[in-house]
Structure 1
Amino acid sequence: MTDATEGRVTDTSEGRVTDTSNEGRRTAVTVDCADCGFDVTYRRLREARVGLARHEAETGHAVDWRIERLSAGVERAGDAAGVCGIPERGDEACDGRFPF
């Protein structure tokens, strides 16, 4: 079932909504709420932040989010900049191994 927002699909068996408007990218950001059934996976970080903020504003719930994976271009840029993303490694490069 597709809801009113173009590119979003609802799996009614699990109550999960998935943003499919940008399937070609590898980036996946999951936003879920422990207070209700809100559980959405977005393909763009910006869209995830907007969805998170909207849900918090509308419900007052504290929403959790996590980056499942990043597109290859974002990973290459982080590696080229010498930024790993793993707190224990500080500013060391990840040598192509990202924690996502």
Structure 2
Amino acid sequence: MVSKIILNHTVINVDQYKENWQDGLLNIKINFKVTSENYHDIATLLYEEIFDIEVPEKGITFRGAIQEYYTSMDNLYKEGEVGDYYVSLLGVKNEERRRQ
């Protein structure tokens, strides 16, 4: 079971992880919690759109882009709030690689 991924050096603890191949490119789908305390950092990170992605528990690294994402809340500035995030990341052609 995958418990975390790393997007551009930022560790994300995941609640759900799925992977599949789409047109020869790796696609990972994750669900994770975002608290009001880390909302700004995560929102800023996701605006980058293209990422160096690592899945350490599976030995996977690749360059990918957000294919789809949504949240249960779009404003987590109220202290103590927690939102559910879903993100789908698709490999970018010619940059996908699997760690040896």
So what's the TM-score if we normalise by structure 1?
0.30
- Please tell me whether Structure 1 or Structure 2 has the larger radius of gyration of its CA atoms: 1
Q: Report which of the two has the higher share of helix.
A: 1
